[in-house]
Amino acid sequence: MATTGSGAAAPASHATSIGWTRADMARRVARDIGRGWTVNLGIGIPTLVADHLPAERCVTLHSENGILGVGPKPESDPDPWIINAGKEVVTVVPGASYIHHADSFAIIRGGHIDLSVMGAFEVASNGDLANWATDLNRAPAVGGAMDLAVGARKLWVMMEHVTRAGEPRLVAACRYPLTASAVVTRVYTDLATLDVTPDGFVALEMAPGLSLEALQSRTGTPVRSPSE
């Protein structure tokens, strides 16, 4: 995937002024990934999830540049030839496969990815995804994100809740060009975990000390609690 709303990967220690750190977000996503799933982790914040998946969960991580069986980041002596789609050095687990780029995308397009986790610029209340742009400072292409958005069985998004300028990323309708329509089923931000439902966003969990009213003030579309 060429672009994400969260930009290049950032250190796991990064923290916003309120809410969860990126490492917290990664642990939260990892907790929800099912046993035996095949999962693609997009460029940026989603790659942190690999470091929080217990081996006994038997999750297979796929990278579209041609690895089936990506492991966590190396603790020492990294092999510079083993990289993910974001050009980060990674490890591989026992039994991993190196595959042709075309075969990697055949896995995606054939519906064999249980879950794709992506970054985004914006997610709309109906699940529309926008995670690419033609900004001169970014790669001007959608990359593999479009294939993953429609090919994966589930699509979750990890991103910070607002932009650096304080504008909401969860909106009624996306302002950026769409990657795919009505595909996102769950969103993990530094402030909340939200499901995308036919009636819009439902906050399943919020960062400690954050009220629904405070969350709503940072969101560009209505947010409901599960009890509503």
pLDDT of residue 133: 77
Point out the residues that are catalytic: 64
Please report, rounded to a whole number, the percentage of residues in the chain having pLDDT higher than 90: 81
Of residues 75 and 16, more confidently modeled:
75
Q: Examine the pLDDT at 15 and tell me if it is beyond 90.
A: no
Is there a contact between 85 and 57 (Cβ–Cβ < 8 Å)? Answer: no
Q: Examine the pLDDT at 21 and tell me if it is beyond 60.
A: yes
pLDDT tens digits, residue range 145-196? 999 999 999 999 999 999 999 999 999 999 999 999 999 999 999 999 999 9
User: Considering the chain, what is the average pLDDT of its residues?
Assistant: 90
pLDDT of residue 17: 60
Please tell me the distance from the alpha carbon of residue 67 to that of residue 196, in angstroms, as a whole number: 30
pLDDT tens digits, residue range 93-133? 999 999 999 999 999 999 999 999 999 999 999 999 999 87
Mean pLDDT computed over 29-46: 96
Boundaries of every domain in the chain? 22-224
The whole-model pTM stands at 0.89
pLDDT class of 138 with cuts at 50, 70, 90: low
pLDDT of residue 147: 95
Whether domain 22-224 has CATH 3.30.750.24: the reply is: no
User: In this structure, what token pair is assigned to residue 144?
Assistant: 């593999």
Residue of 33, 105, 97 whose CA lies nearest to 71: 97
Is there a contact between 178 and 128 (Cβ–Cβ < 8 Å)? Answer: yes
